[in-house]
Structure 1
Amino acid sequence: MSLVSQLSDVVTRIGTEFKAIRTERAAITGALASLATTDKSNLVAAINEVLSAVGSGGAIDADSITDATTVGKALIRAADAAAARTAIAAGTSNLALGTTSSTAKAGDYAPNAAAISDSTTTGRALVTAANAAAARTAIDVYSVAEANAAAAAAAAAVVDGAPGALDTLAELAAALGSDANYAASTSTALGNRLRVDGAQTLNGTQQTQGQDNLSVYSRAQIGDPTTDFVALFDAALI
């Protein structure tokens, strides 16, 4: 088997492994273009963006809610019903609020998250979250530990058991001589070698170098090996 064939087999094998890794990654993480992050260039960049957005996995406070108003933030921070009423400037009298007795609320009515008419499901989940983990679940983000674990798993999937000297793209590039056209360069180099399996056209310089390397005489130096020496001898006798 020629070197080109072996190298082609190696390239095909490496390509097959990369294809398997990409297919597995796509099945686990989906297409990078589908990321909701600003940076969609690679998974690590997207994870770092998520980490930055959630404040390194710390507790989410009222100021982290980008569309929360001053009143909304005061409600979120309210320690009790009285503080909540103060935030919305509500009194404690029994005067009816609203247009009818069926829709009016007493002055000391303490609303809950579900009573906020323009609140979304995500907003209510954030307001009622019992802890930071529940708040992260509400907005579907990772904690620091979860993000680090996901990044480690992604890196392990890319490496996929490769030896230490060849487990990065830089090391693979160095192993190939940083030649983007490695296969073509190798094929061209092989084309300049002396063939033993077929005809080959060599210029004078190449022929001379080949003869020197093989330590043989040229055809001109040896002469015609089909020369009929018997006929020459016979001719000399006449």
Structure 2
Amino acid sequence: MSTSAQRTIDLAVRAATECKSIRTLLNGNSADLSMLTTTAKTSLVAALNELKANLDTVAASIGAQIDDAAVASTSKTWSVTKISNQIAAAVNSVISSAPGALDTLDELAAALGDDANFAANITTALSNRLRIDIPNQGLTAQQKLNGCTNLGIGDPDTNFVTSFEGGL
């Protein structure tokens, strides 16, 4: 037997093996199509069309419909495209016109020094500032000295009378 003939036989055996696998998967290795639950048993396309018609009937009976114009409803949903567009719009609304370097939480965290206690640390830092909107901030003597030194006016407890009298 020629190599060409042998290869043709090998192909036929392989194709038959695959057909047998499919028949076994569908109905236990028989050519009997009675196990198919569709009425269209002679055409795969006809069987699929029958299935689609049945699914359409079920969808209509439970009221599940894709409707991109629908508002919140238990009987309608948006298409995948509409859902994706809504998510993109929500993300854009959150980031607004933030520059690319600050349009994610990770980038914002990096801009804040990756400080997990940023709000508390900023609040503490702000509370340690000399205020001008209240008459008595309740500073300790050391805080007053630090504030006056930083303002360039010296020690707040300096007795200028003593300095004046010493100059006489």
Structure 1 length as normaliser, TM-score? Answer: 0.33
Q: Higher relative contact order at CA 8 Å, sep ≥6: structure 1 or structure 2?
A: 1
